[in-house]
Every structure is written in structure tokens, then in C-alpha cells.
């Protein structure tokens, strides 16, 4: 990848991970264009930089090529984070991942090709592995059999990016993330538990049997991995797993949230509607990524899964208590 000097585009830059990435890029002194439709992202996530001459916020959608074209002008690297990030949503709306992930990514790639932008950084997901038989799961694991439309759409995006790299001389770094947690998040198990308990501090509904066990990584570690891998990538299409080296189960997360809220005697009520004790259809019950590849280059996560969840719970509780609960 070329030097990060100059102007970059962050799609989804007002969202959870995107806004933390924008913070890091701005701190590096870069010019940053942000393209976000503000359905999940929020302007307040960028309030630290609003008014800076180095930040331009384009309120638009990756599904509209003209919006991408305006935002990409003058940029040499695209950080493509804009996507549907809620795995469960695909159960009720089967077009969502197709449009927000696959078609949106195609539009970004086409505007890169037409505007001679050569470098793309893409946020993929551990769900592309499906229910892997090898744990921890390395980047070269296969065959890849995602069990959710979300995972399938991200895998399709990876394949399309690879093809553009080989056909049109683009360079790409793809990150397959574990569960990223921290401030500004608006979905996921920690956020869900906090808001349920703020509404009813006596009982907590848990989707599935609570034994789902996965890797969690704090967003601060995620962003550092993002920039570190970008520097170290050597191939024109490079894939890195990004996560912690351990797992926590949903029951443990529930206990952490209860403790951080200062609650006692909370009853856990399990809602098991899906075979195998999953939280929902498409939920990968066991996940741990092999991060040897990125570690061998010198990156290490600062926090393990337990610490990441605990820190994220503190941050999200602080944010939630500062706002009214619907």
C-alpha cells in the first residue's frame, strides 16, 4: 500500500468503528473525507473534528454512485467500512446484506477504478468462516461456508475486491474481525444487555442458551491493528484476522454487565428459539480467530476478551445513562 500521506476516504466514518478510525487518521494529520448516510452513524461521533479544515463529511449513500464519486475525489486510499453491521437483520430482510454490503462495495470499487484510486482497506468478518472445524481459525482455513446472509455477503465482497485487485491493479488489505466492542457502539450483546437492564433491572432476557463463546476485541485495539496491518501488508490482496486470543461466553458477559450496573439478584431468562442454543438463525456459536499472522509482524492486542467486554460495558453504560432510554 502507498504512504498514507494526503487525503483518504472513510465510508461509514460516522459509525462505531469508522469514527474511531477517523479519530486515528485525523491524529496522524491526514485529510479525511467521510461518506455516511447517518442511519447507523451519527454526526456526534465526529464532533471532535467538526470544523476542522482537514475533515469533510459527505452525507450520502454508497448505493448512489454519484455520492461515492463526490466523496472519493482527490483521495488515494479508501477505508470501506460502510455496511449493514447487524447479522440478525438478514433474517427479516433478505435484501439488506445484498444491497448494503455487496452492491455498495461494487459501487465503491467502480468509482475507485474510474477515478484511478488504487488502495482499499476493507472490514470483513469472522462470520465468513461459518462454523469452522479448526479453532483458532487461520486465514487460510477452508472451505468457507458462512451460515448467515451477512457472512455470505462479506465473503462475496472479499471475492469481488480480489478480482478488482487482479484485473485493475488495485491493492487491498482485508480485515476479518472478531466481535469489536467499545464506546459509540449501537448494537451487539453488551449494548443489548445494558439497555434491557436499564428498562428492567430485575430480569435479563438472554437470546440462546448463554453458552455461545466468542472472541471480543476492544475498538482501540482494533484501530491499532487496522493501521499496523496496513503498513505491513506485502501482497496486492492481503487478509488479516483481527481479534483477541481468548473467548468469553454470553453468560459471563451478562454477569459483567450486571456487575458494572451495580445490580443484584438479576434473574436470567433464556429465550431458546433456535436449534443448538444459538441466539438467532445464522449465529455462529463458537468463534476464535488465529491471529498468528498479524502477531508475527509485531501487533499484539492490549486487552483480552474479558477485559475488552468489561471496558466496553463501562463505556456504554456511561453513554446510555447520559441519554433517555426508549
What distance in Å separates the CA atoms of residue 101 and residue 155, rounded to the nearest whole number?
Answer: 10
DSSP for residue 76: S
Angle at 84 between CA 30 and CA 116, to 5 degrees: 45
CB neighbour class for 224 (10 Å; exposed up to 12, middle 13-18, buried from 19):
middle
For residue 217, what are the β-bridge partners? 180
Any catalytic annotation for residue 150? yes
Which one is catalytic: 106, 129, 150, 216? 150
H-assigned helices in the chain: 16-27, 65-72, 96-97, 104-114, 149-168, 189-199, 219-232, 250-260, 292-295, 305-321
Residue 235's contacts (CB-CB under 8 Å, 6 or more residues apart) are none
What distance in Å separates the CA atoms of residue 51 and residue 36, rounded to the nearest whole number?
Answer: 17
Cell matching residue 325: 432510554
Query: By C-alpha distance, which of 212, 243, 214 is closest to 226?
Result: 243
CB neighbour class for 91 (10 Å; exposed up to 12, middle 13-18, buried from 19):
middle
Q: Which residues are catalytic?
A: 150
Amino acid at each position: 500500500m502507498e504512504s498514507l500521506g494526503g487525503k483518504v476516504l472513510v465510508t461509514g466514518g460516522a459509525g462505531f468503528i469508522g469514527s474511531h478510525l477517523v479519530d486515528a487518521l485525523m491524529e496522524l494529520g491526514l485529510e479525511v473525507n467521510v461518506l455516511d448516510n447517518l442511519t447507523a452513524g451519527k454526526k456526534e461521533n465526529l464532533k471532535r473534528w467538526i470544523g476542522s479544515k482537514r475533515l469533510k463529511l459527505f452525507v450520502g449513500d454508497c448505493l448512489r454512485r454519484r455520492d461515492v464519486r463526490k466523496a472519493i475525489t482527490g483521495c488515494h486510499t479508501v477505508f470501506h467500512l460502510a455496511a449493514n453491521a447487524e447479522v440478525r437483520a438478514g433474517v427479516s430482510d433478505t435484501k439488506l446484506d445484498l444491497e448494503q454490503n455487496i452492491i455498495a462495495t461494487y459501487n465503491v470499487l467502480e468509482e475507485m477504478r474510474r477515478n484511478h484510486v488504487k488502495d482499499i482497506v476493507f472490514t470483513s468478518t469472522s462470520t465468513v468462516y461459518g462454523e469452522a472445524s479448526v479453532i483458532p481459525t487461520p486465514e487460510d482455513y477452508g472451505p468457507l461456508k458462512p451460515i448467515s446472509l451477512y457472512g455470505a455477503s462479506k465473503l462475496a465482497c472479499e471475492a469481488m475486491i480480489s478480482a478488482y485487485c487482479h484485473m485493475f491493479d488495485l491493492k487491498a488489505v482485508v480485515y476479518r474481525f472478531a466481535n469489536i466492542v467499545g464506546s459509540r457502539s449501537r448494537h451487539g450483546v453488551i449494548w443489548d444487555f445494558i439497555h434491557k437492564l436499564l428498562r428492567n433491572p430485575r430480569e435479563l432476557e438472554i437470546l440462546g442458551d448463554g453458552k455461545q463463546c466468542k472472541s471480543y476485541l476492544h475498538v482501540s485495539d482494533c484501530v491499532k491493528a487496522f493501521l499496523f496491518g496496513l503498513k505491513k501488508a506485502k501482497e496486492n490482496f492481503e487478509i488479516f484476522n483481527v481479534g483477541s486470543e481468548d473467548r468469553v461466553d454470553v453468560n459471563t458477559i451478562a454477569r459483567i454487565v450486571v456487575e458494572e450496573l451495580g445490580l443484584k439478584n438479576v434473574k436470567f431468562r433464556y429465550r431458546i428459539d433456535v436449534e443448538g442454543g444459538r441466539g438467532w438463525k445464522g449465529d455462529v456459536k463458537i468463534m476464535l480467530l488465529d491471529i498468528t499472522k498479524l502477531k508475527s509482524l509485531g501487533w499484539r492486542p492490549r486487552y483480552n476478551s474479558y477485559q475488552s467486554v468489561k471496558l466496553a460495558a463501562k463505556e456504554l453504560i456511561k453513554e446510555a445513562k447520559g441519554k433517555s432510554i426508549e
